[in-house]
Structure 1
Amino acid sequence: MHDLIHEMGLNIAREKGSRRWRLEDIEDEPKAVEGLLLSFDYDENISPCIEAFKQMTKLKMLIVKYRVHHLCSSKSHQESIEAFKDIDIVNYLPRSLMVLKFSYYPWSKLYFPMEMKKLTYLDLSSSKSLLKTPNFAMMPNLVNLNISNCKALETIHPSVGNLTKLVKLNLGHCNLAKLLSFNQEMKSITHLDLGCCSPLLETPNFATMPNMEYLNLSNCKKLKEVHLSFENLRKLVSFDFHGCSNLEKLPSLNQEMKGITRLNLKNCSSLLEVPNFAMMPNLKFLRLSKCEKLKVIHPSFGNLKELVSFDFHRCCNLEKLPSFKQEMENILYLDLTDCSSLLETPSFAMMPNLKFLRLSKCEKLKDIHPSFGNLKKLVSFDFHGCSNLEKFPSFNQEMKSITDLDLTDCSSLLETPNLL
């Protein structure tokens, strides 16, 4: 459950004790109700509750569970559905409402007849029939807005650009080709999710969101470029572009982005160049797998001393990695599987704590850097399908940690390693 809903529920519980409202209680005392869960998942007639809803003038939190495939077939349950359809529930929402969670909202639009100044949380996710969002001018203090997975959504009301208190905006899995412009600086936004908006052609201007921390643009398959203002997101912690198959490059980074610890560019099959890693010195997790057009890695990669894991598997045009300029003692995992053009491995002397090494199907690889013999903490290494590999470097010490070794289909191998 989202933190805001959880906190709201606790506050109501503190004020009212641990009393549980039954249907007959709600029918008798609707004006006392502050939190309500309307669930259509169970075979129960909740028609009286729906009628009593009109009198709930103190309601602060409303959660509606409405999913057609969960509906039961009893007469009482069908009566509940019909009652719910007949009442225009939004017309009876009180001004006191703070949380409205209504996933699978069954109608094409949502209209608020009056200003809802206390509403801070609105969730309309997975509303398959929703064509238009409400006018957000009627809820100026929204903090969290979730309209993800609304596949039929055609437009977002331009008033969303005035929600200056918005912290989290989730539009993932919507079929939106572009976003509306934000009319003023949105200093509160820290989370923006546009993942799987496959028709998306352009990103918003990030200059209006200077405090962004988490950005998800994964699987935006038509996206070719990212707005230049991206370079100014100095507070960014994580950004995910995986599956952006038309993206060729990211904007240049002209200032340090010290907060970034995760970068995911997996399946960016058109990517021609990676960013300058000198601008993200605290990067820990890097995924560049299946970037099939990528030929070189920026030399600044060799200075990522905080790096724990990097994955370059199926970068089939990559010939080599940059030299490491300092010890990368945090690196535990390295995956270069299916890098079929790879001619040489990096020097392992700079990653003394490496535990897992994947070099399978590196078909042009003929030898391994001699420093490989010093990886005393290695647990598993996989070289299967390295058809040109003839031998391994000598091991200079006992490799007690190794539990898994795969040399399958190394058809040119003349001798196996001595594992002491």
Structure 2
Amino acid sequence: MAKLPWSVHRRVAQSWARTPVQASSSLTNFFSEHASKAIGGLPLSIEVMSAVFNGKTEGECGDILGRWRTMIKCWDFQEIVKETYQTLDYNEKQIFLDIACFATGIDFRIARYLWDHLSFPPFREIVTPLAKIEENSQIWMHSMVRRLGREIVRAESLTDPGRRSRLFNHEIALDTIKRKKGTENVRALCLNFQWRTSVKLTPEDFRSMPNLQYLQLDHADIAGDFSDIFPNLMWLRWRGCPQQLQVTNFRLVNLTILDLSSSKVTKDWKGWDQIEMMNLRVLDLTECADLLVTPKFSGCKNLAILILERCSQLIRIDHSIGNLQHLVTLNLKFCTELSMLPVEVGDLIALKELLMDGTSVREIPISIGNLKQLETLSASNCFCLSRLPRTICRLRSISLLSLDGTRITALPDSIGELVRLKHLSLRECCQIRKLPNSIGYLGRSLAELDVSGTGVVKFPHSLENLQNLKVLRMDSCFFREFPPDIGELTNLEEIHACWCRSLEGGIPSEIGKLHDLRILRLRHSTISSIPAEIHQLSNLRTLDLLHCDMIKELPELPSSITVLYVDDELK
């Protein structure tokens, strides 16, 4: 693999070493000095190493560099990870090993409830970059780091898996419990019978492991009296659990996370009464296709996250949902048969995220105006939704409103009262013909506006007030002219106006004021000219003019462009 230039190593080191002196000179100089010995993938090594220096003084960094000098010169990635792991405290090590063994790819907002009792500091400050939180909130760990984490667990007992803290391999875990070799050391155990021969599991298989905190029983068949078997269990993942339970006294008093995805559960499933839910914070019922009506929620009043995504036959949510005063996330995405939200949704005073994309909901209850904490309302592809309640103007905390593909004909004039709205998406709302002038009142907050595929033909004059707008998407619209006030949107970074086949004239010269513009996409539009002022856009990286047949010549383009799409005759 090609070596990276020294300047890249220095920039990476500076960006990742978050010491009180903001990337100490000794650290960055050391990386630069030995960068010529780098192999492919070096930035990952630097990221991993920087976790060690996070929060340390320059003197402490110097001591560590002295101890590691030989190792770093050789760029031994495995040793770098092992040394980084050794600098973590006990709680941080437990979280790292959990992620390596079973929590990679899990939504951090769910997994964190397993670690609440560890009193750990903010997640991004403890195992980053040994593990990261992606934009979709999922926990990500590089496969090499994950493999080394699992090797650490195997090394806890090379010959006796039952003495390890985590049994993440199905065959080893099953063999261990069937031979009654499990010990009190086992913290996590993973079984998955989806593609394997099912084996009936009994209480005796687990009795020797009282400290289990995470248990995966995917598609497992269990039976018997489980009284006092799982006294410390906090996370039960039982995907594909059967409709008919054969267990008794299944009281999981410390259960915090319950994942029953892809199971045969119904409203009358006996497990609702068997499993103790007073401490439950997460209930995941994704793809429970037999669920027509939700169970009553009176027994899990501390619930924070309720996931009903892709429950394809769900037609009704029990009114007791209003009792969930701590609920932060309600996920109803792709519950295609769900046509109505209970009015009690308005009682969810802690709700921050309401996801109802792909449902058949016809209207949002006016009680939604009570949700003072709501930050995200996503109703994309709700093809039956034709209007918004007037009370939506009360959602003063909302930052994302997505109505893509709905039948809404207009936004209420009160939209301007949503003073924290950052992202407004109306993509493919074909029946919307214009935007209210009050949208200009969002000038201090709105960062992204998407009207692609709508019937909007002209922006209101108040558009010029959107001083914080960074992304403007207007693909496949019927605008007759490019927004003449575009130059007033001085913070714009992206403009997307592809397939605008009604555009007449050229881009106004005021576009030269957009010094932060990075992306300009006009593919398949009928724009007729590009102004000479485009040369002033020193940050422009991408210019897409492919199949812009009305453009006959191009002015001098900025040297910053790295991606250019044009037809051959314009080259």
- Shared topology, TM-score over 0.5? yes
Query: What's the offset of the Cα at 1:230?
Result: 0.3
Partner of 1:20: 156
Aligned with 2:367: secondary structure? coil
Query: What's the offset of the Cα at 1:338?
Result: 1.0
> How many residues align structurally?
384
Partner of 2:376: 262
For residues 356-371 of structure 1, what are the structure 2 equivalents within 5 Å?
356-363=471-478, 365-367=479-481, 370-371=484-485
Aligned with 2:180: secondary structure? helix
Matched AA of 1:149:
S
Note if 1:165 corresponds to 2:279: yes
Query: What's the offset of the Cα at 1:345?
Result: 1.7
1:378 to 492, 501, 508: 492
In 2: Cα distance, 1:161 partner to 1:48 partner:
26
CA contact (8 A) 2:227 2:249 kept: no
Distance 1:112 1:214, change over 3 A: farther
Structure number having the greater helix percentage: 2
Partner of 1:351: 466
TM-score, with length taken from structure 1:
0.78
Query: What's the offset of the Cα at 1:9?
Result: 9.8
Query: What's the offset of the Cα at 1:265?
Result: 0.9
Query: What's the offset of the Cα at 1:19?
Result: 8.2
CA contact (8 A) 2:314 2:335 kept: yes
Distance 1:40 1:163, change over 3 A: closer
Once the two structures are superposed, what CA deviation does each residue of 1:173-214 show, in whole Å capped at 9, x if it has no partner? 2111111223x3643111111111111101132222122111
Note if 1:61 corresponds to 2:197: no
Distance 1:9 1:194, change over 3 A: same
In 2: Cα distance, 1:10 partner to 1:303 partner:
39
In 1: Cα distance, 2:176 partner to 2:426 partner:
59
For residues 7-406 of structure 1, what are the structure 2 equivalents within 5 Å?
20-24=156-160, 26=162, 35=165, 37=167, 39-40=169-170, 47=175, 50-53=178-181, 56=183, 58=184, 61-66=187-192, 85=199, 88-94=201-207, 96-97=210-211, 99-107=213-221, 110-115=223-228, 118-127=231-240, 130-132=242-244, 138-139=250-251, 141-154=253-266, 156-157=269-270, 158-159=272-273, 163-175=277-289, 176-182=291-297, 184=298, 186-205=300-319, 206-244=321-359, 246-253=360-367, 255-275=369-389, 276-291=391-406, 293-322=407-436, 323-324=438-439, 326-339=441-454, 341-346=455-460, 347-363=462-478, 365-367=479-481, 370-391=484-505, 395=510, 398-406=513-521
Once the two structures are superposed, what CA deviation does each residue of 1:314-336 show, in whole Å capped at 9, x if it has no partner? 11111122223625223222111
Distance 1:251 1:374, change over 3 A: same
In 2: Cα distance, 1:137 partner to 1:362 partner:
61
TM-score, with length taken from structure 2:
0.59
Once the two structures are superposed, what CA deviation does each residue of 1:42-64 show, in whole Å capped at 9, x if it has no partner? xx69746532248x5x5773412
CA contact (8 A) 1:167 1:191 kept: yes
Matched AA of 1:126:
R
Matched AA of 1:148:
L
Aligned with 1:253: secondary structure? helix
In 2: Cα distance, 1:7 partner to 1:190 partner:
14
Once the two structures are superposed, what CA deviation does each residue of 1:357-413 show, in whole Å capped at 9, x if it has no partner? 1111113x33455432312222221222222222455628633333433334434x5
Task: Return 156-165 or 305-314, whichever deviates more.
Answer: 156-165
In 2: Cα distance, 1:34 partner to 1:405 partner:
55
Uncovered stretches (5+) of structure 2, i.e. residues with no partner: 1-102, 104-110, 121-153, 535-571
CA contact (8 A) 1:136 1:159 kept: no
In 2: Cα distance, 1:288 partner to 1:350 partner:
23
CA contact (8 A) 1:231 1:255 kept: yes
Distance 1:414 1:96, change over 3 A: closer
Query: What's the offset of the Cα at 1:36?
Result: 5.2
**Aligned-pair Cα RMSD in Å:** 3.6
Matched AA of 2:167:
L
Aligned with 1:324: secondary structure? helix
Identical amino acids, percent of aligned pairs: 16
Task: Return 113-122 or 267-276, whichever deviates more.
Answer: 113-122
